[in-house]
Amino acid sequence: MSQAAPLHSGTKPIYGVEDDRPLEIVDGRCVVGRVDEIPPGSRRIFSNGGARGIGVFNVDGRFFAVRNVCPHKGGPLCRGRLRPHVVGPEVNRIAFEREGEILKCPWHQWEFDLQTGWSLYAPRLRVKTYPVLVEGDRIVVVVDG
């Protein structure tokens, strides 16, 4: 596993979250680790020898997995900052919803919903998402099916 580096806020990419362990896919399922290896508020990016890879996120005990490629221009999406969904219920007033469920690409700041993969502001763009199961203490990503 890569040595951890400090996480950065703002628009800088987040490093130190790569996990270079070989992943084994059996019947379209891949065990990516134990629940305690990806605590709430953290992520791991699994490349499995390819350039794309999959990012697995723990948001308050709920796990999400997305392809590590921004559909806008191919940036390393899973290195982006997690943010809340910012809404404007009235003129000159903002509110925050769904803390940590919006992934912001570090290249061009495009934002994607971790649950659905849809871009917040470009309805045709969507990043590939994968179902994630917790089986006992194991995190399983369903990559086929």
Q: Is residue 122 part of a domain?
A: yes
pLDDT tens, position by position, 17-50: 778 777 788 899 999 999 999 999 899 998 866 6
Instruction: Please give the model's pTM, rounded to 2 decimal places.
Output: 0.80
User: What stretches of the chain adopt beta strand conformation (E)?
Assistant: 18-19, 25-26, 29-34, 43-46, 54-59, 62-67, 81-90, 93-104, 111-113, 129-130, 132-135, 138-142
Work out the average pLDDT over 101-121: 90
Domain that holds residue 94: 18-142
What average pLDDT does this structure show over 80-108?
A: 78
CATH of the domain at 121: 2.102.10.10
**Does 67 map to a domain?**
yes
Residue 101, sorted as left (phi over 0), alpha (psi -120 to 50) or beta, turns out to be alpha
Q: Total domain count for the chain?
A: 1
With bands split at pLDDT 50, 70 and 90, how would you rate the model's confidence at 12? low
Which carries the bigger pLDDT value, residue 96 or residue 79? Answer: 79
Higher per-residue pLDDT: 14 or 27: 27
Quick check: is 13 in a domain?
A: no
